[in-house]
Amino acid sequence: MEPTTSLASPEFRNLLDQCVHCGLCLPACPTYAVLQTEMDSPRGRIQLMHAAADGRIDTNGAFAEHIELCLGCRACETACPSGVQYGLLFETARAAIAEESTTITPLERGVRWLALRQMLPHRDRLRFVARLMRVYQATGLSKFVRHLSFLPPSLRAMENLLPPLSLRFPNYSKPAPAIGKKRGTVAFLYGCVQDAFLTDVNTSTVRVLQRNGYEVHFPQLQTCCGAAALHIGEGQLARDLARQNIDAFGDRGYDAIINNAGGCGATLKEYAHLLADDPAYAERAKQFVAKLQDINEFLADHLHTPPTGSLNVRVTYVDSCHLRHGQKVVRQPRQLLKSIPGLTFVELQKPDMCCGSAGVYNIMQSETAEQVLDAKMADVAGTGATIVVTTNTGCHMQLIHGVQKKGLKAEVVHLVELLDRAYQISE
Ligand code: SF4
Ligand code: SF4
């Protein structure tokens, strides 16, 4: 079902009616765990959606407050025995808030316009900002700003999340050739924030694909996947970005389209739903989704040349919610980690719980995000791991912040970076 902005539509009501209010999803919900209020649980939010659909409440006030406190992590979807599609309900509720709310200030609308339309879809602009931020970090200004007590919470959150930046960006102007025997041709969706702010992740992704015999192409027209837009209810913009990506990647005979960020992948896999009512794109969207694979999914089946270099490290893995709950990719990253010789893998106590990143949640709802992060970091600390592995841009930045905050002696990396290291040791 395409997300509709109409809370009163029969499709939305049918989705709501699948909930039998059993409450079995409550223990899985990170906001319920830290806030302990029914309205901040999946069942409570579904009740609010019922009330808004019936016209008993409007989309301002309590409705907006509790829906905006939802991480959209979809852990409740995994836990629900009745198959409630909470992700679709959430997107529709967010879209209704974005359209009808009177609480969004002109300043907020301006920031959204700038971020969603003027920055994220433009790789060169994001790289320019990353360069500026690198200079900001190099001058030591960052350490000074961190200690300013009057910094607004959202700016403080952004400052906390800034990872160590690089001035070297990958070159996507021509395909990267396969190393050794060529086994196929894949296209790489390099993302927006990942490309500019976590450059080594993309460099490693390409190298690991090359080492396994794949020629890697970089379609030039590609753009942001639309996840951030969708998450805050800008469905129309998300659909426009989806069309551009389908035009960029479509009909070119690639064996697969690869992405390496769980949050982006969950949105990319929704393209067929998003464009179901668009006659020009509905079929092409299905073909796009059929070719799309998260890097973990792809490598789990196509690790033709496993790494032989030994990494004697203790590692834990933090699932991206959108990879685990949204895409149901759970086994593959663990399988890949265990393929690295010498590595000791330690599972978290609660691997299904969110880290509090959730798109721009850690900037917009920084106080609750910090509480969710604290719970996650206590779990991470309990593993004694010196390397924390994740597979999503937002989680990666959030965990770097969490490691610093908790004072852990641990490094945060994407899984492909660890594979890449093992290959380099093999040489
Ligand atoms: S969402 Fe599912 S698990 Fe949660 S209360 Fe409704 S039916 Fe029960
Ligand atoms: S999406 Fe996550 S935060 Fe939101 S209700 Fe479901 S479990 Fe709770």
Nearest to 321 by CA among 350, 344, 364, 285: 350
CATH number of 10-100: 1.10.1060.10
Q: 3-57, pLDDT tens digit by residue?
A: 445 888 999 999 999 999 999 999 999 999 999 999 999 999 999 999 999 999 9
Nearest CA to ligand 1 atom 4: 25
Alpha carbons 77 and 85: distance in angstroms, whole number = 6
Distance from residue 117's CA to the centre of ligand 2 (Å)? 27
User: Is the C-beta atom of 73 inside 6 A of ligand 2?
Assistant: yes
Nearest CA to ligand 2 atom 8: 29
Q: In which residue ranges of the chain is pLDDT below 70?
A: 1-5, 102-103, 427
Query: What's the confidence (pLDDT) of residue 143?
Result: 73
Query: What's the confidence (pLDDT) of residue 3?
Result: 42
Alpha carbons 318 and 322: distance in angstroms, whole number = 12
Domain boundaries, the chain: 10-100, 308-426
Kindly tell me the sign of the dihedral angle through the C-alpha atoms of 246, 247, 250, 251.
positive
Q: What predicted TM-score, i.e. pTM, was given to this entire model?
A: 0.91
Query: What's the confidence (pLDDT) of residue 4?
Result: 44
Nearest CA to ligand 1 atom 2: 80
In words, the CATH class of domain 308-426 is alpha beta
Query: What's the confidence (pLDDT) of residue 45?
Result: 98
Query: What's the confidence (pLDDT) of residue 103?
Result: 67
Distance from residue 95's CA to the centre of ligand 1 (Å)? 22
**Which listed ligand is nearest to 24 at the C-alpha?**
1
Distance from residue 414's CA to the centre of ligand 2 (Å)? 24
Distance from residue 174's CA to the centre of ligand 1 (Å)? 49
- Quickly count: other Cβ atoms within 10 Å of residue 407's Cβ: 9
